[in-house]
Amino acid sequence: MKMKRGLLGISGVLLLSMVTAGSAMASVVNMGFENGTTGWDITLNGGSAEVLSSYEGYAPVEGNSFLVLGGGTANKYVKASQTFYVGAHETVSGNAAFIGNDYLPFNDLMTVTFKDADSEPIYMPILFDIKTVGDYGKTPWTPFSWTSDVAGEYTLNYAIKNVGDAALPSYALFDGPSSGSPTGAVPLPGSVMLFGSSLLGLLGVGSRKKNKA
């Protein structure tokens, strides 16, 4: 009986540790904007931020909605950002598109940037501007992804900037990953799961032996 209680105590500690680790390693939430802008910090600077089901011929990549940021005050970024925690070698993926509603030399631009805990940019998978797409040009949905080197706190920053003046604002669209793409979820290490399963199996064997006795 003491042996069984000891194993139950160990299993309880292990399972609690597994749950705690999973909750601490929270990834980007509401990546597809299905819950509006919940989880995101929005900076407007005279621009706009809307969660829509369609816009200018664009449909959601996944789910039923996506975020549209519109340029605002000249040379000021309109932003949506979220700080999150991931484990080492975890991947965060999404999609972005640019609608260039201006012409050169007014080089409106949009970016997707990952920043470290010190808010220093470490990776910019997306940078579109008028020079890239041409006057009044646009892009299709474009997938992006980033994989962490080490576990820690990071920030995902979406931004668009009206360059030169506040007229003819351009637009940036953001959505979650397409089906099958990594989302940035932090799985439990396989070795921990295996150990947990083995321990629970051992408990089962102990219980069966007890019943036979």
For the range 29-32, what are the long-range contacts, defined as Cβ-Cβ under 8 Å and sequence gap of 24 or more?
Answer: 29/82, 29/84, 31/92, 31/94, 31/176, 31/177, 31/183, 31/184, 32/60, 32/61, 32/62, 32/63, 32/65, 32/66, 32/175, 32/176
Q: What is the pLDDT of residues 161-204, one digit of tens each?
A: 999 999 999 999 999 998 765 554 333 343 333 344 444 444 44
Q: What is the pLDDT of residues 81-139, one digit of tens each?
A: 999 999 999 999 999 999 999 999 999 999 999 999 999 999 999 999 999 999 999 99
Name the H helices within 65-178. Answer: 130-133
Amino acid at 119: S
How far out from the chain centre does Cα 143 lie? 12
Domains in the chain: ranges and CATH: 1-25+188-213 (no CATH), 27-185 (2.60.120.260)
Q: Which residues pair with 113 in a beta bridge?
A: 157
pTM for this one? 0.75
- Give the pLDDT of residue 188: 34
The token pair that represents 17 in the structure block:
């540790």
- Give the pLDDT of residue 117: 95
Between 1-10, 64-73, 187-196, the lowest mean confidence (pLDDT) is in: 187-196
